[in-house]
Structure 1
């Protein structure tokens, strides 16, 4: 496997591409070596999780095994394309910059709940050994009441920084779209270049049935672009996303444009059409309107955006569909409306 790359303080298209694949390769290799079962990704528009409109995490793919108590002895591991629509409300608000990317690839695992300490050890080895993150540059953010989640980290000789109760209790709790299931989590954060600030990269969550009738599980999840952005102290996760191999990243000018274009390309490729008759269509329509607005703000033409979309589709999938042409049609139609 290649080493992680960054030269002269600049995160180039080559750095994005190679480091992105490097994380995937190391993740797959590590968890395969530990005896985990590889799960195939699903489409973002998959209906596998009825509690969400679009797949936004690896756990959405793995929930059926959790609820049925059918998690393999070691667990599943998965690389999954995801969309979370939190940025949709600010696409046309010039003064607001999104904190996260709407589209990202996530790496995640799901193991039986009786493997909690083993899962902690495995994620520690993956972050520390495979991703070459020094212990002093990693922080465990937790609630002091969750002693079981803290046990492994407290007994490590060369342990990360541990931060307790720095956030409201809700920060350490998860919901799973099912009233009978809840989660208690620790978050992982990485030290940034200034030395004092830590930024979140992902979490480990114990998932439990509220009445204790089901076995439960332990989930881990990390966004690849967020991991890279925090590892190299970049300005934003989108700066480390594959879309930035096509559109040079600029926090004020192209960040939201890139975010909107990525979402639109993936949804159009999966056959969603912009309309008001269903929620998925409305999501696409919102991002298309944002893309059209940002295109004009940056003085791009629909033809230029189409070219960007096709280049990005090749980068993400290695093949072209008619998605770029459809996107071009929607943009032109919107301008003429």
Structure 2
């Protein structure tokens, strides 16, 4: 059974139960968000902030299935000591309700999670300081409750809007093979200076699916994983998969040199993709094929991705070849390794992390 099928089944069950509870299906927002506080749609609430602020969320609320892009992994990709826990591109499912929707949303959450897992495996991470505390803990009967087990900031959210913030709880499910609880989603109370604006429940589809199936991470639950398995080193593997899905999706939604900051994210993702492809010893044509299949599974065009892939493959491949030639030249002329490193990094533009990983200094031999 493919990951694509698993995700579709999970989404279908969510939509069916949400409809039974009266939630109104709402259209997802475009990934290239019109919201000036966002580069990309990054959550189910992304297209509905104005509805909350203006009191336009009907009772009991919306149900939303939203493709999302988050670019925070770019800070970790080149740090070999950091693992990627979540993906840059994922599907988020959730419900969004107004100020009077909490009882219905809590009823939905507990019924939904109980329909896919036993209550004995479920955990709620909550703080006594939250106004949600009593409502949530009373409703999560039969669950394990963790009270104030995390730093205060863990229970608070920001929405990029002046005066608007959130506080909430996190739900987790027990990984029985590892004997630990792994986070799956959140319920957040959203407020401004006048009081409660509404409530948001959301979770990553791939994250929940991976937890239910006992997989190591959401990456193993991604539709991309149906088409490409890059070997036995999970840290490098996930970074490569993340770079591929991010680069492919950015191309598919129209990011190019005219989209300013978004274009710099595409360049970074494409460069990471080809250095990681090299480190994973993968044939580029296999990576291209997997990226195209991933986009086709998502129902989006792949022509811009194919063109950009060719451009960056030649660009990065040329830098690696030139660096090897220069290293050979430097060894013949007894040039110091520090000089070689500066030339390849500063003059050729090879990122330091990849230069260090690909090219070993002479004294290491």
TM-score interval, smaller chain:
0.7 to 0.9
Q: Give yes or no for contact 2:90–2:205 (8 Å, CA) kept in 1.
A: yes
Q: What is the CA–CA distance in structure 1 between the aligned matches of 2:269 and 2:219, rounded to whole Å?
A: 16
Query: Do structure 1's residue 82 and structure 2's residue 68 form an aligned pair?
Result: yes
5+ long unaligned stretches in structure 2: 320-365
Query: Do structure 1's residue 304 and structure 2's residue 290 form an aligned pair?
Result: no
- Between the two structures, name the one with larger relative contact order (CA 8 Å, sep ≥ 6): 1
Residue matched to 1:151: 135
Residue matched to 1:113: 99
Q: Deviations over 1:261-281 (max 9, x none)?
A: 001111101110258x72111
The alpha-carbon deviation at position 318 of structure 1 amounts to 6.9
Relative to 1, partners in 2 of residues 1:87 and 1:280: Cα closer, same or farther, differing over 3 Å?
Answer: same
Query: Do structure 1's residue 169 and structure 2's residue 152 form an aligned pair?
Result: yes
Q: Give yes or no for contact 1:84–1:102 (8 Å, CA) kept in 2.
A: yes
Q: Give yes or no for contact 1:117–1:152 (8 Å, CA) kept in 2.
A: no
Residue matched to 2:84: 98
Q: What is the CA–CA distance in structure 2 between the aligned matches of 1:223 and 1:330, rounded to whole Å?
A: 30
The alpha-carbon deviation at position 35 of structure 1 amounts to 1.9
Query: Do structure 1's residue 70 and structure 2's residue 56 form an aligned pair?
Result: yes
Query: Do structure 1's residue 231 and structure 2's residue 212 form an aligned pair?
Result: yes
CA RMSD of aligned residues (A): 2.0
Relative to 1, partners in 2 of residues 1:185 and 1:204: Cα closer, same or farther, differing over 3 Å?
Answer: same
Query: Do structure 1's residue 202 and structure 2's residue 185 form an aligned pair?
Result: yes
Q: 1:271 aligns with which of 233, 236, 254?
A: 254
Q: What is the CA–CA distance in structure 1 between the aligned matches of 2:30 and 2:285, rounded to whole Å?
A: 27
Residue aligned with 2:112, SS: helix
Residue matched to 2:118: 134
Residue matched to 2:241: 258
Which structure has the larger Rg? 2
Query: Do structure 1's residue 221 and structure 2's residue 202 form an aligned pair?
Result: yes
Residue matched to 1:29: 16
Alignment of 1:234-253 (within 5 A): 234-248=215-229, 250=232, 251-253=234-236
Q: What is the CA–CA distance in structure 2 between the aligned matches of 1:136 and 1:145, rounded to whole Å?
A: 25
The farther-off stretch of 260-269 and 31-40 is: 31-40
Q: What is the CA–CA distance in structure 2 between the aligned matches of 1:30 and 1:144, rounded to whole Å?
A: 30
5+ long unaligned stretches in structure 1: 1-13
More helix by share: 2
Residue aligned with 1:141, SS: strand
Q: Give yes or no for contact 2:124–2:146 (8 Å, CA) kept in 1.
A: yes
Scaled by the length of structure 1, the TM-score of the pair is 0.88
The alpha-carbon deviation at position 322 of structure 1 amounts to 4.2
Query: Do structure 1's residue 40 and structure 2's residue 40 form an aligned pair?
Result: no
Q: Give yes or no for contact 1:302–1:328 (8 Å, CA) kept in 2.
A: no
The farther-off stretch of 110-119 and 302-311 is: 302-311
Q: Give yes or no for contact 1:202–1:220 (8 Å, CA) kept in 2.
A: yes
Q: What is the CA–CA distance in structure 2 between the aligned matches of 1:241 and 1:105, rounded to whole Å?
A: 10
Residue matched to 2:165: 182
Relative to 1, partners in 2 of residues 1:320 and 1:283: Cα closer, same or farther, differing over 3 Å?
Answer: closer
Residue matched to 2:307: 325
The farther-off stretch of 132-141 and 240-249 is: 240-249
Relative to 1, partners in 2 of residues 1:311 and 1:138: Cα closer, same or farther, differing over 3 Å?
Answer: same
Relative to 1, partners in 2 of residues 1:204 and 1:308: Cα closer, same or farther, differing over 3 Å?
Answer: same
Q: What is the CA–CA distance in structure 2 between the aligned matches of 1:143 and 1:294, rounded to whole Å?
A: 41
Scaled by the length of structure 2, the TM-score of the pair is 0.82
Q: Size of the alignment, in residue pairs?
A: 317
Q: Deviations over 1:211-254 (max 9, x none)?
A: 33xx5010011001110111122111111111101112651342
